[in-house]
Amino acid sequence: MKGYRRYFLNKAGWFVITLIAAFLLNFFLPRMMPGDPVAAIVARQAQGMSNSTGVQAIYEQYTKLFGTDKPLFQQFFIYMGNVLRGDFGYSFSQYPRTVAEVLSASLWWTVVLQFPAIIFGWVVGNSLGAIAAYRKGGLDKVAMPISILISNLPAFGMAVILLVVFAATLKWLPASGGYAFDMIPSLSVNFLGSALLHYILPFASIVLLAIGGQAIGMRSMAIYELNADYVRYSRFMGIKDNQISRYVFRNAMLPQITGLALAIGTMIGGALVAEIIFSYPGLGTVLLTAISGRDYPLISAVTLIITIMALIANFAIEILYGFIDPRIKAAQSD
Amino acid sequence: MRHTFRQAFSSGKFVTGFVILMGLLLLVILYPLIFRAPPLQIIAQGTFFPPGIYVSAYDSINAPTTYTLNLDGAAAKRVAAKLKDEDRVAMKEWLVVAGVPEDQIDISDAQKLLTLWAENYDPAKQVKGMTLARQRYFQRVNNAIQGLLSTEGAIIAVRQPESGALQEAGAVKQTDYVNISEVPNVRILPLGTDNFGRDVFAQLVRAIGVSLLIGIVAGLIATGIGLVLGLLAGYVGGAVDDVINFITNIFLVIPSLVLLILISFSVGQESRGAFTVAVVIGVTSWVWTTRAVRAQVISLRNRDHVNLSKLSGHSLFRIIRGDILPYIMSYVFMALILQISAAILAEANLSILGLGPRTTDVPTLGLMMQWAMIYQAHILGKWWAYFPVLISITLITFSMNLMITGLDQVFNPQLRN
């Protein structure tokens, strides 16, 4: 276990560093932009107001609200303290709800939708890719062009197509929302059934995309491995094909896991946009309303949460990878 | 260089992708030369006109010559256009309720059905259990089929300016035809109009061009930054490498969409043109290239020919240009294509979030998608507003990925087979 500890500490260190960097970016990026963000917000809020003292009053109130009258580093510490206490301030567009309230209502929808979908799509995609590489014949010729085409669809495109086919045309499944509009979230059977029905299409759109992309990667990885010397050597040694394919699969799997760790951020981003198409009550839809409502505190909180989600997912995958790849142990213990 | 090109074009996948992309480019370049109408002009009053050829009704009545054609089945087609199958079924239903024996009604015989209808239908009749909406529906059907079987033409009347009385100015017989080339005002809308009443096809062609440009600008910026940082980190090494690697590791995990959103929102709607969006996408997506270039350069750094150059006292710039770049150029070119297609997707994602280029001057694929979604074209079944856009995005990324796969097989012999 000693070798692992160094690996995990290293990964944990990177997790903390990236978290801090993400936090800094989230705070400083908007503030590094030319122009006064508060002035811009006030200009939007006060559109059509001719009373200049009124505009001035609004401006002063906002600078106080945001604390922009204080020096930047002081602002940063106040912001950090607030965020650590879970206080993101009030939402502009959904006042008097606080940002924390809005987020806590939507975060779980996203988590429950995206992570199972991405993992499921990844597993199925990799299995298909490996089978395609191994069998070559008919399956490979049919399945590969289809997955190439699917993986080239933008995330929202898959969502739109599923929506049009299964919700708007066939009317098998609901087109939008996370549950029937006449229901109140609760733990009743009715509500869960409705939520499940609304879950299918967004889930399928994320899964299908993940399958397409992963299958292609896995297929070329596995073909690469199948041509490796150790495979030929094993064949000469008379090892059974089943055993060899297990070696190949395992070796081809490793880069796919790293690939997942690196792609998870992009996948979450794409899935957020897919959520918007289905008006799913998760973070994607919140982000859309925040942007259209120019709700600054909400946007920055949502982007922070998304980043943290991606970081945690990435960290979890890397920890898992540490257990799976024997080279990690070997590299760390010498 | 020429050899590399010949090799690339020997790959079927690369050629297929290249041909698709060139086809799109040709369309983008040639279409505006032939049809000069500005793509963002609002021409239709109303939303989502379906695709088709639009002929001015006024001009066709006043066409210089009318031709008489006696075509079989013209009357039947005319009836069919007004009397849909579901209307016929509904009419049968009403007639059965009104007391006509069911076996006497044959909905495939329009003539008989219409006579029966004319004899039995009474708009004032209250049918038990029928909703008002349903009654209105039958009244509408009744109005629509009035005079459907008449063999008379229609009379065109003009209003006298003084008295306001109508005076016959001409007549249109049922057998009158006009030649479409003699009608002065005909507009082909291959993909109908969008929610604002703009020609979707013209807009789409322009949007493909703009999106490709955004992709190219963003791709060049991203690949440029990635190449320079990767070369520095890989070749110079030491503290420079540590710093660059540190930054790269951080940005690798932070979702680029998050950075895009933060920067785009801060830039503000007014100053967010297509070019700005392209730059923003470019400066947030160099990470992958940097990492890959760095890895390749590190593997090249200690090759004999590089060491020889170093011993000969060549400058850093000359070593990089002469001894390192040629080895990684094929990879950089593939990375560029990948960045372009990723940037086009990023623009689309941003636009759907409402952070795309400002909407007044140019269309982009993402903006077209955004408007179609906002006006719910997908739920209303207006496929022409969003489906061609999706197809275009997919075709672009598909063709580029094909090119990359083809190149990959040319440059990595292990992947062939």
**Residue A54 within a domain:** no
Q: In terms of domains, do A88 and A121 share one? A: no
Confidence (pLDDT) at A120:
92
Q: Provide mean pLDDT across the span B149-170.
A: 82
Residue among B252, B253, B398 with most chain A CBs within 10 A, to mutate: B253
Residue B228 pLDDT class (50, 70, 90 cuts): very high
Comparing B291 with A324, which gets the higher pLDDT? B291
pLDDT, tens only, B358-373:
867 789 999 999 999 8
| B298 contact A CB<8A | no
Q: Tell me which chain B residues have a C-beta less than 8 angstroms from the C-beta of A224.
A: 414-415
Contact between B393 and B365 under an 8 Å Cβ cutoff? The reply is yes
Query: Six-digit token pair at A312?
Result: 């945690």
Q: Is residue A245 one of the residues assigned to a domain?
A: yes
Of B255, B383, B402, Cβ closest to residue A266: B255
Residue A88, in any domain of the structure: yes
| pLDDT given at position A253 | 82
Domain membership flag for residue A42: no
pLDDT tens figures, A258-314? 888 877 888 888 888 888 888 888 888 888 888 887 777 888 888 888 898 888 888
Judged on CB neighbours under 10 Å (0-12, 13-18, 19+), B89 is exposed
A238 and A103 assigned to the same domain? yes
Say yes or no to pLDDT of A1 above 60. no
Average pLDDT over chain B reads 86
Residues A116, A75 share a domain: no
pLDDT-derived band at B279 (thresholds 50, 70, 90) equals very high
Do A158 and A246 have their domain in common?
yes
Q: Structurally, how many domains does chain A consist of?
A: 2
Question: Of B276, B218, B355, whose CA–CA distance to A269 is shortest?
Answer: B355
Q: How far is B398 from chain A (nearest CA, A)?
A: 6
Q: What is the largest CA-CA distance in chain A?
A: 89
Taking the model in full, what pTM does it have?
Answer: 0.85
Name the pLDDT band for B223 (thresholds 50, 70, 90).
Answer: very high
- Which of A156, A161, A265 has the CB atom closest to B253's CB atom? A265
Question: Domain range spanning residue A2?
Answer: 1-35+68-93+293-334
**pLDDT tens across B94-136, in order?**
888 777 787 777 777 777 777 777 777 777 777 777 788 888 8
The residue among B158, B191, B165, B139 whose CA lies nearest residue B383 is: B191
Residues A282-308 as b/e (b if ≥16 CB within 10 A, e otherwise) read bbbbbbbbbbeebbbbbbbbbbbbbbe
Please tell me the distance in Å from B258's CA to the nearest CA on chain A: 6
| pLDDT for residue A323 | 80
Q: Does the beta carbon of B401 lie under 8 angstroms from any beta carbon of chain A?
A: yes
If asked whether residues A74 and A169 sit together in one domain, one would say no
Q: Look at residue B347 in the predicted model and tell me its pLDDT.
A: 92
- Last residue in a domain, options A288, A305, A322: A288
Among A111-120, A235-244, B28-37, the range scoring the smallest mean pLDDT is: A235-244
Q: What average pLDDT does this structure show over B198-226?
A: 94
Among A150, A206, A1, A297, residue whose Cα is nearest residue B398: A150
B295 touches chain A (CB under 8 A): no
If pLDDT is split at 50, 70 and 90, which confidence band does B169 have? confident
The ipTM estimated for the assembled molecules is: 0.83
For residue B416, pLDDT over 60 is answered with no
- A325 and A222 part of one domain: no
Do A312 and A272 share a structural domain? Answer: no
Q: Is the pLDDT of residue A329 over 80?
A: no
pLDDT at res. A332: 58
On whether any CB of chain A is under 8 Å from the CB of B129, the answer is: no
- Is the pLDDT assigned to residue B389 strictly greater than 90? yes
Q: Do A186 and A145 sit in the same domain of this protein? A: yes
Residue A63: inside a domain: no
Q: What are phi and psi of B199, to 5 degrees?
A: -65, 115
Task: Tell me the average pLDDT across A67-90.
Answer: 79
Check CB contact of B258 with chain A, cutoff 8 Å. Answer: yes
Q: Specify whether A268 is located in the same domain as A122.
A: yes
Residue ending a domain, choose from A288, A304, A324? A288
pLDDT given at position B166: 87
Out of A18-32, B215-229, B249-263, B337-351, least confident range: A18-32
Name the residue in chain A with its Cα closest to that of B262.
A30
A45: confidence class by pLDDT, cuts 50, 70, 90: low
Q: A333 and A187, same structural domain?
A: no
Q: Would you call B255 and A269 a contact, using CB atoms and an 8 Å cutoff?
A: yes
Query: Do residues A129 and A149 share a domain?
Result: yes
A28 and A105 in a common domain? no
DSSP state of A49: -
pLDDT digit string, tens, across residues A177-209: 777 777 777 777 877 888 888 888 899 998 988
For residues A260 and A122, is the Cβ–Cβ distance under 8 A?
Answer: yes
In a domain, A167, yes or no: yes
- How far apart, in whole angstroms, are the C-alpha atoms of residue A55 and residue A47? 9
Instruction: Give pLDDT tens digits for B62-81.
Output: 888 888 888 887 877 887 77
Q: Are B258 and A273 a contacting pair at CB < 8 A?
A: no
Average pLDDT over every residue of A221-238: 84
- Which of A40-49, A107-116, A228-237, B164-173 is least confident? A40-49
On whether the CB atoms of residues B373 and B356 are closer than 8 A, the answer is no
3-state SS, residue B254 = coil
How would you class B238 by CB atoms within 10 Å of its CB: exposed for 0-12, middle for 13-18, buried for 19 or more? exposed
**With an 8 Å Cβ cutoff, is B270 touching chain A?**
no
Q: What is the domain-level CATH number for residue A191?
A: 1.10.3720.10
Segments of B92-209 assigned E as strands: 154-159, 166-172, 176-177, 186-189
Give residue A47's pLDDT band: very low, low, confident or very high (50, 70, 90): low
Residues B141 and B135: their CA atoms lie apart, in Å, by 10
A104 falls within a domain: yes
Q: Hey, of B13, B242, B252, B257, which one would you mutate to test binding to chain A, going by the most A CBs within 10 A of its CB? A: B257
Nearest chain B Cα distance for residue A317, angstroms: 12
- Residue B243 forms contact with A (CB below 8 Å): no
Q: Which two tokens stand for residue A256?
A: 């796919």
Confidence of residue B215 (pLDDT cuts 50, 70, 90): very high
On whether residue A48 sits in a domain, the answer given is no
Nearest to B252 among A153, A224, A262 (CB): A262
